Amino acid sequence: MERTLVLIKPDAVQRDLVGELIQRFERKSLKLVGIKMMALSDDLLDEHYSHLVGRDFFAEIKTFMRSTPIIACCWEGVDCVNTVRTMCGITKAREAAPGSIRGDLAMSVQANLVHASDSLETAEVEVARFFNANELFAYEDVVNPFVYSSREK
């Protein structure tokens, strides 16, 4: 079963959307296997946004991401990396599809509420970047037989 990293960003914390965002993933029937509030360090952000080093907005994103603590979540599900990206919508929130988190709830490119891992390889690296092994939990999901058919797992 895939796992993916979601970060609930400072704009969601300030706008009291933490519960709404967690609820969207819960209602989709993704399984929550890790969650914590964190203040992000400069070093961690350099690593996490290393693909954006050199862009003129790099310093601004780091300041934004450090403006409040964030909520890190690890979600599990069949094909959940792509599913969660689709649920988040495209980066430029004001053009994101209605029905997606960004499409429904945000207008900005920078303040777009959530981070979600963009591939299975990235997800593995990112989950390990934000969670220690003992902060991730394996437990029986009793509704699982009603979420997936036996052939899908």
Residues that bind ligand IDP (CB under 6 A): 52, 57, 61, 91, 109-110, 112, 115, 118
Residues 106-135 within binding reach of Mg ion (CB under 5 A): 118
118 vs 141, which CB is nearer to Mg ion?
A: 118
CB nearer Mg ion, residue 118 or residue 135: 118
Answer for the pair 106, 112: CB distance below 8 angstroms, yes or no. Answer: yes
User: Is residue 115 among the annotated active site residues?
Assistant: yes
Looking from the CA of 107 toward its CB, the CA atoms found within 13 Å total 1
Centre a 10 Å sphere on the Cβ of residue 92 and count the other Cβ atoms it contains.
14
What does 83 interact with, of ligand IDP, Mg ion, none (CB < 5 to 8 A by kind)? none
Residue in 40, 115, 126, 127 annotated catalytic: 115
Tokens at residue 50, please? 């290393």
Binding-site partner at residue 110 among ligand IDP, Mg ion, none, CB < 5 to 8 Å by type: ligand IDP
- Find where tokens 């979420």 sit: 147
Query: Could you tell me the strand order of the sheet in which 114-116 lies?
Result: 31-38, 70-77, 2-8, 114-116
As measured in angstroms, the least distance from the Cβ of 43 to ligand IDP is: 17
Site for Mg ion, rule CB under 5 A = 118
